[in-house]
Amino acid sequence: MATGTPRPTSRDVAQAAGVSQAAVSLVLGDKWRGRVSEATAARVRQAARDLGYRPNLAARNLRLGRTRTVLLVVPALTTEFFAGVYTGAARVAAAHGFGLVLYPSPEGIGPARDPFASAQAALDGIIASSMAADALTALRGDQLPLVMLDSDPQGSHGATTVNLDITDGIRQITDHLAGLGHRHVLHLAADIPSWTFEIRARELADLLTRHPGTTLRTTRTPLTIDAARTAAETALAAPGPRPTAVVCDDDLLAAGTYKAARRLGLRIPDDLSVTGIDDLGLATAIDPELTTVRLDAELFGEHGMRALLAVLEGRQADRGDIPVQLVVRASTAPPPRP
């Protein structure tokens, strides 16, 4: 029987690095922090690379009772935002030997059906973006660790939450428009009953009350360009002082507002300023380019996966919302003179 080069073992790595096999297990299992030094961890990783060592994940997973598979649940794949969340989460998952399965819930933000014979047997944990914790009951049961992205920290039923600083994003928009002199504002709000959109509406209304003489009109619309065009056209043509600025919950709604403005003969930004949220590729594809709040979707996904890893390892996940940034472009300007 022909024989080849023997496959390197953890003992070989330990000997090459000058450490114990237990230390090799800790480092390659990413559980070394607080147990071995960074220099030792680096030495072990280098020895493993030099030897071409690959741990037997199947045996380790069987021993630990783990599948090393995580489910990322999103309400839809209608924008590139969720693709960015997946990309960031998958990057961190792969670095730690986990697989990430993307699951667009057929029910949107409603109760998600279990795509497996038993999610609790097939998965180590769940990350859910822009959904409510009780929508994951069929998937999670009372067993699987859960990390909620873009969700209410008070209504997460004990799940770990990771959020973007949406309230600060709305503050940045409000300060920008108020600084330009806008006092008649239309909020084109996504007609989706989720925490993130409720926060946007509440924060905008609260902040605008701090500017005397400001009026706020709110119109809700499905999260599509065509629906936004119809809603914005109706709102802008309604009786009363015409809004000079439109705050859109999403860049898609802003694109619909652009179409409505053209139909009404309004120029952006001369007659109407428009802002969005997300900073999708669409924001620089429309003319004029859109002033919008940049949400780093990949960083969001990375934080979500790191939070789940912390839960799986019995550690406290990092706290604090992820900063967002208003990107000012050509869609906003001072309001027209009366």
Give the side-chain half-sphere CA count within 13 A for 182. 30
pLDDT of 36 reads 83
Highest mean pLDDT among 25-39, 133-147, 215-229: 215-229
Q: How far apart are CA 297 and CA 278, in angstroms?
A: 8
pLDDT score recorded for residue 121: 52
The pLDDT of residue 120 is above 80: no
> Which has the minimum average pLDDT: 39-48, 67-76, 152-161?
152-161
Confidence of residue 116 (pLDDT cuts 50, 70, 90): very low
% of the chain surpassing 70 pLDDT? 84
Position 62 scores a pLDDT of 38
Query: In the β-sheet with 245-248, what is the strand arrangement from edge to edge?
Result: 215-221, 184-190, 245-248, 273-278, 291-294, 325-327
**pLDDT, tens digit, for every residue of 275-303?**
999 999 999 999 999 999 999 999 999 99
pLDDT for residue 86: 94
As a whole number, mean pLDDT of residues 17-33 equals: 80
In tens, the pLDDT along 317-329 reads: 888 899 999 999 9
What pLDDT is attached to residue 55?
Answer: 61
So what's the pLDDT on residue 200? 96
Q: What's the confidence (pLDDT) of residue 194?
A: 85
Tell me the mean pLDDT in the region 98-121: 64
pLDDT in the model for residue 93: 93
Residue predicted with more confidence, 251 or 116: 251
pLDDT digits (tens, 9 = 90+) for 177-195: 999 999 999 999 999 888 8
Mean per-residue pLDDT, 150-173: 89
What sign results for the dihedral spanned by CA atoms 228, 230, 233, 236? negative
- For the ranges 133-137, 176-180, 206-210, 302-306, the lowest mean pLDDT is seen at 133-137
pLDDT confidence of residue 111: 53
Maximal CA-CA distance, the chain: 93
Contact 203, 262 (CB under 8 A): no
What rounded mean pLDDT belongs to the chain?
A: 86
pLDDT in tens, 50-97: 887 766 544 444 344 467 889 898 887 667 899 999 999 999 999 988
Torsion of CA 315, 317, 319, 322, to 10 degrees: 160
Per-residue pLDDT at 2: 41
- Name 185's bridge partners: 216, 245
pLDDT of 46 over the 60 cut? yes
